[in-house]
Structure 1
Amino acid sequence: MTNKHHIIDRFISYVTIDTQSDPESNSTPSTEKQWELANKLVDELKEMGMQEVSIDENAYVMATLPATVAHKVPVIGFVSHFDTSPDFTGTNVKPQIVENYDGKDIVLNEEKNIILSPDYFEDLLLYKGKTLITTDGTTLLGADDKAGITEIMTAMQYLIDNPDIPHGKIRICFTPDEEIGRGAHKFDVEKFGAEWAYTMDGSQIGELEYENFNAAQAVVTVKGKSVHPGYAKDKMVNSIYIAQDFINSLPRLETPEHTEGRQGFFHLNNIKGNVEETKLEYIIRDHDKEHFEARKEMMKNLTSDICEQYETDCISVEIKDQYFNMKEKIEPVMHIVDLAEEAMKEVDVKPIVRPIRGGTDGAQLSYMGLPCPNIFAGGHNFHGKYEYVPVENMQKATEVIVKIAELTAKKYES
């Protein structure tokens, strides 16, 4: 249906533009370089014939594909983000194309001996005979989420080129700063005007997700007393040791490396300290709302217990909620998930319905009044040098978008 070479060319034209976001920045977008791809997308949308193409002062790109049917159909939307993760460099991306993958090791970078191996990344074996796009071992690829953008753009072009396919009005949006948790912060849901939407931002082919973590950030501050170590007896209070007590008091097996599925965790992702003061930065994650609240309470109780033990206010915790499980907002409108599942089956994709062990713009959008499940974009090993995407996955995701549009129109014929 969709031309493989057109998808490859489009995808490569996007990933070779550096769009890393920056969590330390307070601007939107968080980096100036995101504007380059945002403006390119605006030009391409106008050129292909999309209507109501707009870009606002925060680089949110929106456009409309008018309906091809006369009967009333709900307006649906598709959303992707153009920033890439700050976790690994996205500067000077040099994609490599592996035709007819043979199931063996792929040498990403001979000089640095960087190898993408199915011995470690078993999912590779799903794609024997397929065309893979990989990194050169020195950057991330950016399939998260430029694969999603490629798929939405290709699907819109296909629908424009095939006006006989019935569909209602379709809205699309490309956002900045998703990777730093701000992708939906300045999303104008009212302007978007869709009844529901889908983020094209999942991984493996077939993924369909309407559950995600409840998420919070916790900053634990430990205060000590610095005294010359030669004269410190009964005077020094070493904040690092107290911080160690705190770390060791949380359940050791409830961490990312020991959990899966719907299991939640505490994740210590940064420590900075000395005798006088130590700061611990945690993220708290759980699909279950009650368990999520219990995790936050556990942290608060632990700080109280340690203060009691040391007979001083030596430790405090500040907890901020980040986002919530979209399941609560999607379950009342489960027909939108059923529709995506049916579309996948019609284009010979086996749906894999499972919870996201992370967040998505769709979670925040769902709480802003735009129910928004997440559909696969097709890439693997996001945010690092081993990232890759099978071209056939992007083709299938494009077909799913087209089929969702068609099925929505048909279901509202009567």
Structure 2
Amino acid sequence: MNSVAERFLRYVCFDTQSNPDNSACPSSPGQMVFAQALKAELVSLGLSDVTLDDNGYLMARLPANIDTAVPAIGFIAHMDTAPDASGYNVKAQIVENYQGGDIALGKGDEVLSPIQYPELNQLRGCNLITTDGTTLLGADNKAGVAEIITAMEWLLAHPEIKHGEVCIGFTPDEEIGRGADKFDVEKFGAEWAYTIDGGPVGELEFENFNAANAKVVFHGVNVHPGTAKDKMVNSMTLACQFHAQMPSEETPECTDGYQGFYHLTSSTMSVASSQLNYILRDFDLDGLQARKARLKAMVDDINQGFKSDVVTLIIEDSYFNMKEKVEPFPNIIDNAKQAMIDCGITPMIKPIRGGTDGARLSFMGLPCPNIFTGGYNFHGIHEFATIEGMQKAVEVIVRLTEKTALNIR
């Protein structure tokens, strides 16, 4: 099982940040470089039907080793890392047998502290993999990639573990919401699957946000400030007034559990034109519609004070809550829960405060809950993973594969 950590440390050296400003698939060349390296590795391990298409979708199969008809199940992870922090020249470090306290990251003043991240207090005695404080780590989701491949390697080396056909898939551009865009569910061939893309050990998720993106554009009029009276419309002023009306308690930093939020992700500002970009999140679809309606009402309210519309609103749906597509198949969840219990893990059923490829794949006909990777603090320079957590993920994948066959036979 130590090979999962070695594999992961090798994978994080690939720069695979996705690029939301590039419409190509994959959106960054490093993702294809990584996919080609993974393809060669899968072939060398002896997996079947290893394919990599022009869009960077990598698939392979582990053939069944029993004669009984068993449903083909799948495991999926994404190869890209988030654009929120640099993924170039990642320098991972191993903290052996962590005994508490601050962890110095690299040679600078950056630290990983249990004061800011109290979950560290539960990880005494574990071996941690951290960044050097200048980049993200890439556990989201290269830990998942490493865990799936290590589990397949284990199953190949242990034919006494009986299983049906296992389909594995690695996708590009999940972090920018495009991971399922060109995923060929029929070619993949599984009846159901699991994304290995969660956080701490025990996480099992089959609920996620309903999600939408909103662009609020403010159209100003720029004239010389010396002659601006009754002529200038400063779009930045309108944008500030608009955002000031947003509910301050309904933001990511003030919500958890099943609470939704509005999140201002970026802005561009000038007198003549400004734009605020929001993401809207809610576990309840009616709640998401209410958030859209609120933004529209705020826009209408501003426009009423002018002779023409000075604010325009564009809203696009991103993904929906997979719960309605997964719940009709309780065996998928039950198998995963029991596999964790068999591995000495207490399952933690919780909603995903985000989305995964599995959310969209579930609506494409492939029910796809999410399982932990052993990673923490994704998308930033304080990201880390535990070697023990990654090893447990491998164990769960192996046991889940075996258990699916045992339940059918």
Q: What TM-score do you get using the length of structure 1 for normalisation?
A: 0.97
Letter in 1 for 2:97: N
1:329 maps onto 2:325 in alignment: yes
Supply the AA of the counterpart residue of 1:204: P
* Partner secondary structure for residue 190 of structure 1: helix
Supply the distance in 2 between the matched residues of 1:184 and 1:106 (Cα, whole angstroms).
37
Q: Map 1:282-321 to 2 at 5 A.
A: 282-321=278-317
- Write out aligned runs for 1:13-412 (5 A): 13-110=10-107, 112-412=108-408
Distance 2:49 2:228 in 1: 70
Q: Which moved more, 1:229-238 or 1:205-214?
A: 229-238
> Aligned partner of 2:57: which letter?
Y
Tell me which amino acid in the other structure corresponds to 2:83.
Answer: P
Following superposition, the deviation at residue 107 of structure 1 comes to 1.0
SS of the counterpart of 2:313? strand
Identical aligned residues as a percent: 53
Find the residue that maps to 1:309 and give its secondary structure: coil
Residue identity opposite 1:301 in structure 2: A
Query: What amino acid is aligned across from residue 360 of structure 1 in structure 2?
Result: T
Counterpart of 2:234, as a letter, is N
- Whole-angstrom distance in 2 between the partners of 1:231 and 1:22: 43
**Mapped contact 2:131–2:384 kept (Cα < 8 A):** yes
**CA-to-aligned-CA distance 1:110-158 (integer Å, 9 cap, x gap):** 3x21111112111112211111111111111111111101110110011
Q: CA deviation at 1:245?
A: 2.2
Deviations 1:70-113 (A, max 9, x none): 11111100000111111111111111111111112211123x21
**Alpha-carbon contact 2:5-2:390 (below 8 Å) kept:** no
Q: Distance in 2 between matches of 1:7 and 1:409?
A: 24
In 2: Cα distance, 1:113 partner to 1:147 partner: 27
CA distance in 2, matches of 1:340, 1:116: 32
SS at match of 2:105: strand
> 1:178 is matched by which residue type in structure 2?
E
How far, CA to CA, are the matches of 1:214 and 1:183 in structure 2? Answer: 16
Shift of 1:227: 2.1
CA distance in 1, matches of 2:13, 2:207: 32
Q: Match of 1:7?
A: 4
Tell me, yes or no, if the aligned pair for 2:239 and 2:274 is still in contact at 8 Å: yes
Native 8 Å contact 2:104 2:112 kept in 1: yes
Give the deviation of 1:168 after TM superposition: 0.6
TM-score (norm 2): 0.98
Structure 1, 349-358 or 302-311: larger mean CA deviation? 302-311
Aligned length: 409
Please tell me the residue identity of whatever aligns with 2:314. Answer: E
**Preserved contact between residue 196 and residue 370 of structure 2 (Cα < 8 Å):** yes
Separation in 2, partners of 1:159, 1:236: 69
CA–CA separation in structure 2 for the residues paired with 1:139 and 1:153: 25
Q: Deviations over 1:174-196 (max 9, x none)?
A: 11111111111111101001100
SS of 2:321 mapped into structure 1: coil
Residue ranges of structure 2 left out of the alignment (5+ in a row): none
What secondary structure is seen at the aligned counterpart in 2 of 1:245?
A: helix
CA RMSD of aligned residues (A): 1.1
CA distance in 1, matches of 2:56, 2:222: 48
Partner Cα separation in structure 1 for residue 371 and residue 89 of structure 2:
28
1:165, CA displacement in angstroms? 0.8
Cα distance in 2, alignment partners of residues 62 and 229 from structure 1 = 60
How far apart are residue 303 of structure 1 and its match? 1.0
